[in-house]
Amino acid sequence: MQHSTQRPATDSGTVTIGGDLTVYRLGFGTMRLTGPGIWGPPTDRQEALAVLHHALDLGVNLLDTADSYG
């Protein structure tokens, strides 16, 4: 796994959502962790977990788990 220049999510500032939940402005969209499809197991479960853990290590505290947008 290669990463470009890394900055913590805390650098993005915060926003309050839902009236009382404060999160960093930089979130992580998890939809593609399952691979090329929308649902189902990831192609490489260990790699998907490593990506998720890396986001958390960088301070991400908003995980977008939507399976579609529109």
Is residue 4 situated within a structural domain? no
Is residue 45 situated within a structural domain? yes
Is residue 49 situated within a structural domain? yes
Is residue 1 situated within a structural domain? no
Evaluate if residue 2 carries a pLDDT over 90: no
Is residue 70 situated within a structural domain? no
What's the domain count of the chain?
1
Q: Please, which pLDDT band fits residue 62 given cuts at 50, 70 and 90?
A: very high
Question: What is the pTM for the complete model shown?
Answer: 0.77
Beta-bridge mates of residue 16: 22
Token pair for 18 = 């839902």
Q: Which domain holds residue 38?
A: 9-64
* Positions marked active-site: 69
Is residue 23 situated within a structural domain? yes
Residue range 29-56, pLDDT digits in tens = 988 888 777 778 888 999 999 999 999 9
Residue range 6-35, pLDDT digits in tens = 889 988 999 999 999 999 999 999 888 887
C-alpha–C-alpha distance, residues 59 and 39, integer Å: 26
